[in-house]
Structure 1
Amino acid sequence: MKLVAVDYQAENAQQLFVESLKETGFGVLKNHPIRQELVSNIYKHWQEFFDSEQKWDFEYNKDTQDGYFPPNVSEVAKGFKVKDIKEYYHYYPWGKCPEQLKEEISTYYSEALSLAKELLGWVEKYSPDEISKNYSMPLSSMIEDSQQTLLRVLHYPPLQGNEEPDAIRAAAHEDINLLTVLPAANEPGLQVKGKDGNWIDVPCDFGNLIVNIGDMLQEASGHYFPSTTHQVINPEGQDQSRSRISLPLFLHPRPDVKLSERYTADSYLKERLKELGVV
């Protein structure tokens, strides 16, 4: 499997992008509208937040799932027993947020959500008739007025050498949502699992925007669009002393949306959150 970057501004970008999603579960875009300066500033300012004691003033709400999640409540990937080596912050427009970080992060949320909606429209447009006829509603309608779309600021701290055996920054997993939009992180480590079972490094180059399918889109499409397994591996050598920050936007439908005969978006999300051990 090879991840080929599609030029967002090309005439056939929509078709090529959706073909990549179908074949690999991932799409890579270059010449995209996400602003590098905005993302770089967010990385810098949130690194300062994670390095500070202020983060404890924003500890997460178990019911609403917004706020700061410390390493001791980090997720355990489905099928694994060891927690990931990470801490993170869940930002929603309606949720709590440090005042000095709010303007930047809300601007990014709005811009990334606009692009994510556009990309979901591409998927809808290029879904075969025999697939789209089973959607309970147009994909773009599933996210209208949704309060569930999540922006996660992920911090993978430097390795200390005392980590649990077999623990890595993010164990192999699939995302829960419809689509995930991810600008390149400030350090490498993201890998995608190919159809042959081998792991492929995703380039750490801001020119590339990584988009992947989540389980909800896989469920809604009757597994036509595959939710691809990915992980973040531990750095080696001198890189172990460096933090890694990433900024995935998880595009979620409204809770009442029917994904399939088996699930609504709400029932699917609750099932997965229980598996991850965060509720």
Structure 2
Amino acid sequence: MELVAVDYAAPDAPQQFVESLREFGFAVLKNHPLQADEITHIYTAWQAFFNSPSKYDYRFSKRFDGYFPPEVSETAKGHQVKDLKEYFHFYYPWGQCPPELVDITVQYRQKTNHIAEQLLNWIERYSPSEVAAHYTEPLSAMIEGSDQTLLRVLHYPPLTGNEVPNAIRAAAHEDINFLTILPAANQPGLQVLTKANQWLDVPCDFGLLIINIGDMLQEASGGYFPSTTHRVINPPQTTQNKSRISLPLFLHPRPEVVLSERHTAQSYLQERLKELGF
């Protein structure tokens, strides 16, 4: 069993893409509109930010935007040890951002969001009628104008060998949001838990685009599309001295969007944040 990259330009790409999401909660795309040189440029620019002490000038605010240092990094639900990472939360248009990174970050977010709208259209097109009946409005419309969509710039620092026992770069978790769009990182390590309860490596060749279902889309589809457990494992000793940069765009519906009889997007988010101790 493996995740096979779907050719974004192929005539049957929408169907293959949705079938992969249904099976794994994940899908991988090749030949998509994001250009490799754009990804390289933004990786390099944000790596320089994390290498600089000026990152502390952008420490996160009460609105959870800005820089989160390793000592306040997330602890995944059900785990006791913090992840080995630092990150920056960029909310557009109201979030803080270093001036030299604004233009490339906004451009990346806008292009990725546009791709996400197309992918949500594919998901809706290939949702069975009884599943689509649960959608209170078109899926792509649910994210339109949302100021809750979050671009997280993740930096997994090189390992020193002195890490807390059992700590890994990102412990097993599911995403809270609607849909996550993620260019393949500059280092491997992402794994997804299959239906057979086995960890499967997600293809990480540079230039691929990885998409996974979040809890909110699982809720909106009545469980038809699974929000699958995934993690980022530590690198082997031969490459543990290398950083890993990752750029997940966490798509969130507008707060008032009705996901199900139980939840709006806002009530669902608050429930999950409470579970995480926020």
Q: TM-score, normalised by structure 2?
A: 0.97
Gaps of 5+ in 2: none
* Over 2 Å off, 4+ runs: 273-277
CA shift, 1:135, in A, is: 1.4
Cα displacement string for residues 99-156 of structure 1 (whole angstroms, at most 9, x for unaligned residues) = 0111111110010000011101111111111011111222122112100111110000
Gaps of 5+ in 1: none
After TM superposition, list the pairs within 5 Å mapping 1:136-215 onto structure 2.
136-215=136-215
How far apart in 1 are the matches of 2:157 and 2:115? 29
SS of corresponding position for 1:231: strand
Number of the residue aligned with 2:100: 100
Number of the residue aligned with 1:276: 276
SS of corresponding position for 2:6: strand
How far apart in 2 are the matches of 1:271 and 1:71? 25
CA shift, 1:242, in A, is: 0.7
CA shift, 1:271, in A, is: 2.1
How far apart in 1 are the matches of 2:274 and 2:157? 25
SS of corresponding position for 1:203: coil
SS of corresponding position for 2:105: helix
How far apart in 2 are the matches of 1:253 and 1:42? 26
Q: TM-score, normalised by structure 1?
A: 0.97
How far apart in 2 are the matches of 1:42 and 1:274? 33
Between Structure 1 and Structure 2, how many residues are aligned? 277
How far apart in 1 are the matches of 2:226 and 2:236? 31
How far apart in 1 are the matches of 2:140 and 2:184? 25
How far apart in 2 are the matches of 1:203 and 1:27? 10
SS of corresponding position for 1:4: coil
CA shift, 1:270, in A, is: 1.8
SS of corresponding position for 2:84: coil
SS of corresponding position for 2:240: helix
SS of corresponding position for 1:191: strand
Letter in 2 for 1:171: A
Letter in 2 for 1:10: A
SS of corresponding position for 2:197: coil
How far apart in 2 are the matches of 1:265 and 1:224? 18
CA shift, 1:2, in A, is: 1.7
